[in-house]
C-alpha cells in the first residue's frame, strides 16, 4: 500500500491541525507552513468537526434521517458520524468514503457500533463508482431519504473538475426528502492569507480552491435550505452561548438543505 508519505495529503494535514497523531513529516511541514501564512489554521478543522456533529444530530433527531453517506471522511476522530447518528437511531446506517489509503488503514475505528457501518475506498471525483459500489448498494436504501455529507472536501476540487456537477450527480441518485450537509473554505474574510495557504498546497501538488459565498451557495441550487441558511459554521445551530471565534478565523461556510 503506497501511502505517498513524501507529499502532504489533506486528510493527514487536517488530522495534524486537529491535534491528532496520524500524519507524516510532509503533512506536518505543510500544516506548519500554512500556519505561518494563516495563524488561525487550526480553527477551521475544529469548527468543521463541530458542524458535522451538529448537522448529523439535527438530521437524525429533527428530520428522522437514519442513513448517511459521508464522502471525504478523513482520519477517524470520535465521535464520528455513526456515533452521533446511532445515539438517536441505534440501527442507523453509515457508509464512509475516502480515497486516502491511510484512512483505509484506520477504517476499523469507524466500523464499531450497534447499527451498520461500512467503509469504501473511493474518490469524490468518481460519483458513479461510489453510488454503484456494493458498500453503498448493500448498506443504504436509496429509495429512502439519505443524509449526504460533504464536509470540508469540495475545496479540494478544482474548477476544471466541475465540483457542481459532482454534487448534482450524487444528489440525483438520492430520493426526495434527502439532505445535503456541506461545508467549504472561503477567502471572503482573509483573502491574502488563504491565497498564501493555497499556494503552499499547490507547490506540494495538492489542489485547493477556496470559494466566495455565492460560489458555495451554488452547491445548494434547487434545494430547500434549512434555517438559518448558509452561514459561517459557528452560526449554524450553535449549541453553546459562548462567543464564537471571529468569522475571519473560521473562514468556512456551511449549510444543510433538503432535496424536494
Express each pLDDT in 107-120 by its tens digit. 665 665 556 899 99
pLDDT at 18 over 80: no
pLDDT at 194: 84
The pTM for the full model equals 0.88
CB within 8 A of 25, min separation 6: which ones? 5
The CA distance from 217 to 221, in Å, is: 7
Residues 6+ apart with CB under 8 A from 202: 208
Amino acid 203: pLDDT: 80
46-60, 111-125, 176-190: least confident range:
111-125
pLDDT at 77: 75
Residue 15, pLDDT score = 67
Three-state DSSP class for residue 257: strand
pLDDT classification of 1: cutoffs 50, 70, 90? very low
CB contact at 8 A, 170 and 146: no
Cell of 233: 459554521
Q: What is the mean pLDDT of the chain?
A: 87
* Helix, coil or strand: residue 143: coil
Amino acid at each position: 500500500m503506497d501511502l505517498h508519505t513524501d507529499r502532504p495529503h489533506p486528510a493527514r494535514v487536517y488530522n495534524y491541525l486537529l491535534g491528532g497523531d496520524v500524519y507524516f513529516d510532509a503533512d506536518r511541514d505543510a500544516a506548519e507552513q500554512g500556519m505561518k501564512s494563516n495563524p488561525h489554521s487550526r480553527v477551521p478543522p475544529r469548527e468543521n468537526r463541530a458542524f458535522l456533529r451538529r448537522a448529523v444530530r439535527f438530521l437524525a433527531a429533527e428530520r428522522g434521517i437514519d442513513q448517511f453517506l459521508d464522502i471525504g471522511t478523513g482520519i477517524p476522530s470520535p465521535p464520528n458520524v455513526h456515533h452521533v447518528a446511532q445515539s438517536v437511531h441505534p440501527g442507523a446506517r453509515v457508509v464512509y468514503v475516502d480515497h486516502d489509503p491511510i484512512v483505509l488503514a484506520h477504517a476499523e475505528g469507524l466500523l464499531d457500533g450497534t447499527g451498520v457501518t461500512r467503509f469504501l475506498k473511493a474518490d469524490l471525483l468518481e460519483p458513479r463508482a461510489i453510488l454503484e459500489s456494493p458498500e453503498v448498494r448493500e448498506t443504504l436504501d436509496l429509495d429512502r431519504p439519505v443524509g449526504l455529507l460533504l464536509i470540508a472536501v469540495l475545496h479540494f476540487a478544482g474548477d476544471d473538475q466541475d465540483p457542481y456537477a459532482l454534487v448534482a450527480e450524487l444528489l440525483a441518485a438520492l430520493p426526495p426528502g434527502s439532505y445535503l450537509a456541506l461545508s467549504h473554505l472561503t477567502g471572503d474574510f482573509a483573502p491574502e492569507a488563504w491565497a498564501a495557504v493555497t499556494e503552499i498546497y499547490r507547490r506540494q501538488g495538492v489542489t485547493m480552491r477556496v470559494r466566495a459565498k455565492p460560489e458555495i451557495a451554488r452547491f445548494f441550487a434547487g434545494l430547500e435550505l434549512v434555517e438559518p441558511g448558509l452561514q459561517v459554521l459557528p452560526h449554524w445551530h450553535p449549541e453553546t452561548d459562548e462567543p464564537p471565534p471571529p468569522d475571519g478565523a473560521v473562514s468556512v461556510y456551511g449549510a444543510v438543505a433538503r432535496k424536494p
